[in-house]
Amino acid sequence: MLSMLVNLLYRVGFMIMLALIFSWAKAFRNIFSKEKPTLRDKIIMGIFFGSLSIVGTYTGIEVQGAISNTRVIGAAVGGLLGGPFVGLLAGMIGGGHRFLIDIGGFTAVSCGLATLLEGLIAGLCHKKFKESKDPVPFALAVGIVIEAFQMLFILMVAKPYPAALALVKIVGVPMTINNAIGIAIFIMIIENIRKISSVEATYRSKQSLIIAGKTLQYFKSGLTSESAQKSAEVIYKSGDFDAVAITDKKRILAHIGEGSDHHLAGRDCKTKVTFDALTSGEMNIAYDKTGIGCDDHTCKLSSAIVMPLNDGIEVRGALKLYKTSDMISEHDIELARGLGNIFSSQLELARLEENEMQTMKAEMRALQAQINPHFLFNAINTIVSLVRTSPESARSLLLHLSDFFRMNMQNSKDMITVKEEIQRIRAYLKIEKARFGEKLNVAYELEGDLEDEIPPLIIQPLVENAVKHGVNKSIDGGKVLIRVKEHEEAIVISVIDNGVGMSDVALKKIQHYDEECGIGFSNVYKRLKTLYGNRAQLTVQSKIGQGTQVDIKIPRMAKEVIA
């Protein structure tokens, strides 16, 4: 019995060596690292463990017309890891081989059936095995139970009974001990593979975040050739893919790595796997060259993951990760999915920001359209009234009117200097002063060189409100003061009038900054918040009979802030 124990230990060691060798293979690791194997994976697992059972049979020791072997290890491990289907398939292959091939005398039938049932029993323990906190001891216990079952089954089925009993007395204890230990060690190896896979998954997650951090700035401007090229370069350098490509809906925007000699930027997309992903809007994976569908027979790219990029409304393009081998892992897929989702989110933000900017520009045009016709009508009436009585004054007003509209036509610029905005206001107030005469007084308190940049039409709507709703409604008229102070970090612009002011109720309404308080005022507020966020402030103070003060605080170095 001791000699049998030692000899079987060598056979178990051989099976463990095979397990270690296979654990180095990516295909083996990919299957066993999955939480939910597919039917294809389960069939592969069943065939693999069934083959190990056959190896266990051939490496067995002949004893009294039977074979002392390690066949059960393959079927039992397959069942524990893959469930009843895998255990039954592995047991069927290993047990069927033992039954059909004439290598083991009078126990062929009993051992063949026992192997099939052992695989099934181990498979039925699969759920408890997965829930177990100590999978290795659990596997050891299962190994002892099913080996004891096999010995009992041999006694029940094998004939003649005396020969079966003599055999069990010799091989029962050595096979139970060695095979149970072999099953436990095999499970230990698989658990280590899963731990390594977990570490790899953590690495992939960190890799995804690192790549996202490096590419975040590129997609702010949308999906362009430049953003695609820079992002593809980052992924190629940071990942372990043999090629990286990014496309729009029709063309290749960038291709880095293997295949760049014929997957050229600027050309139409040419692979089937890309067309399918762009059409369906779902991730598409090609596990071989046929799946990729490249028409260049010299192309070395053998597998690919294509992740569509969506801006929240439609598919805008695709991220493509290629390998020159057929080894696409679950971690590769998760990395592709993570990057695709991050890039899609960036594209959606870019679209929303573009929509917001277009809306803001439309509101500016609406504001101009509201100001210009009324202002022009009033200005012309004033000039007409002065043509005969004071031609020089009429001529001066025409020049101011010309300057005002010339500067308004330049409002297509995103930013203008404070000096340019003040020049526009001066032209505007010269004409209003001609209309209202002594009823309107204007003063300026300007500090600094006024070369800091601000959005256009920020001050003028506030000045117009001061004239129309403050001074003009006062019986005695009043004064409008435009004050600009340059601080270290911000510019503070104030428009102050001593007109009729407003009630607390009206003040609360205007502090909600909606269009009920006028399109000009609400437009100023929205544009400040869009461009500067909380770094810009717009405050209103007013009391009935004491006038109104509106203060705007804008961060200095506006160009850098916006960039």
- The pTM assigned to this predicted structure is 0.45
Residue 235 CA to residue 237 CA, distance in Å, equals 6
Residue 174 CA to residue 348 CA, distance in Å, equals 66
Q: Which two tokens stand for residue 182?
A: 């072999």
Peptide bond preceding 174 in cis form (omega within 30 of 0): no
Residue 461 CA to residue 540 CA, distance in Å, equals 14
Would you state the pLDDT for residue 60? 76
Residue 319 CA to residue 245 CA, distance in Å, equals 6
Would you state the pLDDT for residue 411? 53
Q: Which two tokens stand for residue 149?
A: 């079952």
Residue 533 CA to residue 510 CA, distance in Å, equals 19
Q: What is the 3-state secondary structure (H, E, C) of 5-21?
A: HHHHHHHHHHHHHHHHH
Residue 92 CA to residue 30 CA, distance in Å, equals 24
Q: In Å, what is the CA distance from 96 to each residue of 11, 12, 51, 54?
A: 21, 21, 11, 9
Q: Profile the chain (563 residues) by mean pLDDT over runs of 10 residues.
A: 66 73 63 73 89 85 76 90 92 88 73 91 92 90 92 89 87 86 86 69 65 71 83 84 90 91 86 87 88 85 90 88 83 82 81 72 58 62 74 80 68 77 86 84 91 87 88 88 91 93 85 64 81 87 92 74 44
DSSP string for residues in 213-237: HHHTTGGGG-S-HHHHHHHHHHHHH
For residue 275, the one-letter residue type is F
Q: Give the residue carrying structure tokens 């509201």.
A: 370
Q: In Å, what is the CA distance from 507 to each residue of 196, 468, 496, 543, 555?
A: 65, 17, 15, 9, 25
Q: Which of 505, 506, 518, 510 is nearest to 540 (CA)?
A: 510
Helices and strands (DSSP H and E) totals, the chain:
19, 14
Greatest extent of the chain over all pairs of C-alpha atoms, in Å = 140
Would you state the pLDDT for residue 365? 60
Residue 77 CA to residue 187 CA, distance in Å, equals 7
Q: In Å, what is the CA distance from 494 to each residue of 173, 382, 416, 459, 513?
A: 96, 28, 18, 9, 17
For residue 541, the one-letter residue type is Q
Q: Are 87 and 43 in contact (CB under 8 A)?
A: no
Residue 236 CA to residue 244 CA, distance in Å, equals 6
Residue 37 CA to residue 33 CA, distance in Å, equals 9
CA torsion sign, 396 to 401 to 406 to 410? positive
Q: Which of 311, 467, 257, 241 is nearest to 374 (CA)?
A: 467
Residue 411 CA to residue 392 CA, distance in Å, equals 30
Taken as a whole, the chain contains a residue count of 563
Residue 561 CA to residue 483 CA, distance in Å, equals 23
Q: Give the residue carrying structure tokens 């308080």.
A: 517
Residue 258's φ and ψ, nearest 5 degrees, are -55, 140
Q: Are 445 and 493 in contact (CB under 8 A)?
A: no
Domains of the chain (ranges; CATH) run 2-200 (1.10.1760.20), 218-346 (3.30.450.40), 390-562 (3.30.565.10)
Residue 266's φ and ψ, nearest 5 degrees, are 100, -20
